[in-house]
A = this chain, B = another copy of it.
Amino acid sequence: MAFAEFRPLDEKSLVEYIKVVPSLFSKLGNKLDGLTIKEVGDGNLNFVYIVVGPDGSFVIKQALPYIRCIGESWPMTKERAYFETVALKEQGHWCPDHVPEVYHFDRTMSLIGMRYLEPPHIILRKGLIAGVEYPLLAEHISGFMANTLFYTSLLYHSTTEHKRAVAEFCGNVELCRLTEQVVFSDPYKVSQYNRCTSPYLDHDAESVREDNALKVEVAELKSKFCERAQALIHGDLHTGSVMVTLESTQVIDPEFAFYGPMGFDVGAFIGNLILAYFAQDGHADDGNDRKSYKEWILRTIDETWNLFHKKFLALWDEHKDGSGEAYLPAIYNNSEVQHLVQKKFIEELFHDTLGFGAAKMIRRIVGVAHVEDFESISDAEKRANCERRALELAKLLLKERRKFHTIGEIVSAIKQVQ
């Protein structure tokens, strides 16, 4: 290894590091002339450096032993970089078109070197705030989710492979615990970390903390999150974990990855699209009422689920005589039973998606970490009105999710929120 023990890098020491790591140095054509290094970590947790030279480029991501946006008062294992790397490689294996390549990993330094997603790649969330339509987004993200979730589940794994992989990712418990706290716990209780658009949403936040029916449902989802090792999930698949251009969709930052319920990923993505939808009225101005953009978001929600569902079942059909041990072909040996088990599976996954998606929406409005979709609406009252509508929908979805059967019904419910 390059450095004998962990130390946080800065722009200067990073150059020393690159010099002694052939897998990185070679990416720059083995020279450092004309190198530019820029720290761009705008996320909540890590430091990220873009390294560009005349002959090549990469990104360096280093995990520090605390949560960046909170500070050293909230320690967090830097081993998350290891799990992020394992997940990037696994997801990249199953979906190379939509996952950046890993060039280098240094466990001692908690440091990943990976492909630089060059301009015009931007964070999807920023594109959604700017009102940019991404015609291939639903196609791409549905492919990412279908592939990564199918191929890491018992629909493809033997139980031997599955238990080995589950055991390894049990090691990523600290990141799971962060999710447990900020998604499933803090929003439903008084917590020093909770924030909301005050005073407008004070009463709404209090209502969440006093809603017994909501708490019953969120308990079920938390148990599923903690106990059900269904597939290797990304664990943080919101619109800030996706980089896009009009032609490219790249899923980054799987440091929360572990074997959990599939609906947590699908729900995270769809839930964040719904947040983007409700934020649009806050971004509307005289030049652009955002009406047609809102329609595009709704179409993207619809297509994301429908394409995901279709691709997932196509993979299942393709591999139904394969190595997966959940549904042995000698048992599920006629088209009627195959149809019945798939229908049941997808229905449960749909309801999980709605539940987890709703929980992720709620926590972004009354929990610790908010989303730029709303935060960038400077008028607090206007922002609160947007957030309140999203919150009302999320509460409905969480409590009544089993009454919905198609994504079209969800789109209708979104439109009906006043």
Chain A residues with a Cβ under 8 A of chain B: 154, 159-160, 162-164, 166-168, 170-171, 173, 176-177, 180, 185, 188-190, 212-213, 215-216, 219-220, 222-223, 226-230, 325-328, 330-334, 336-337, 340-341, 344
Name the prevailing secondary structure of the A interface residues: helix
Residues of B within 8 A of A166 (CB): 166-167, 170
On whether the beta carbons of B167 and A180 are closer than 8 Å, the reply is no
Bound-state Cα–Cα, A227 to B190, Å? 33
Chain B residues with CB under 8 A of A228: 227-229
Chain B residues near A215 (CB-CB < 8 A): 331-332, 337, 341
Q: Which of A160, A163, A170 has the most CB of B within 10 A?
A: A163
Q: What residues of B have a CB within 8 angstroms of the CB of A330 in the complex?
A: 189-190
- Kindly provide the distance from the CB of A256 to the nearest chain B CB, expressed in whole angstroms: 14
Contact A326 B226 (CB under 8 A): yes
Q: Which of B167, B333, B334 contacts A170 (CB 8 A)?
A: B167
- What is the copy number of this chain in the assembly? 2
Contact call B177/A332, Cβ cutoff below 8 A: no
What are 5 contact pairs spanning A and B, CB under 8 A? A160-B177, A164-B173, A167-B171, A219-B332, A226-B326
B189 touches A160 (CB 8 A): no
Tell me if A163 and B159 are in contact (CB < 8 A).
no
Other contacts beyond A154-B223, A154-B226, A215-B331: 19, CB < 8 A:
A159-B226, A160-B177, A163-B171, A163-B173, A164-B170, A166-B166, A166-B167, A167-B170, A189-B331, A189-B333, A190-B330, A212-B334, A216-B340, A216-B344, A219-B326, A219-B344, A223-B230, A226-B326, A228-B229
Taken together as a complex, chains A and B put the C-alpha atoms of A164 and B169 apart, in Å, by 10
Query: Taking CB as reference atom, which chain B residue is nearest A161?
Result: B173
Docked complex Cα distance between A332 and B184 (Å): 12
Nearest chain-B residue to A332 (Cβ)? B215
Taken together as a complex, chains A and B put the C-alpha atoms of A190 and B328 apart, in Å, by 12
The 5 A-B pairs at the shortest CB distance, nearest first, are namely A167-B170, A189-B330, A212-B337, A163-B170, A167-B167
What are the residues of chain B within 8 A of A213 when measuring CB–CB? Answer: 340
Contact of A180 among B159, B327, B337, B341 (CB under 8 A): B159
Nearest CB of chain B from residue A356's CB, rounded to whole Å: 16
Q: In whole angstroms, how far apart are the Cα atoms of A212 and B327 in the complex? A: 13
Across the interface, which residues of B come within 8 angstroms of A154, CB to CB? Answer: 223, 226-227
Question: Are B325 and A180 within 8 A (Cβ)?
Answer: yes
Which residues of chain B are near A326, meaning CB under 8 Å? Answer: 219, 222-223, 226
Contact across chains for A337 and B164 when beta carbons are under 8 A apart = no
Q: Contact between A341 and B229 (Cβ–Cβ < 8 Å)?
A: no
Chain B nearest CB from A176 CB (Å) reads: 7
The answer to whether B167 touches A331 (Cβ under 8 A) is no
Query: Across the two chains, which residue of chain B brings its CB closest to A224?
Result: B228
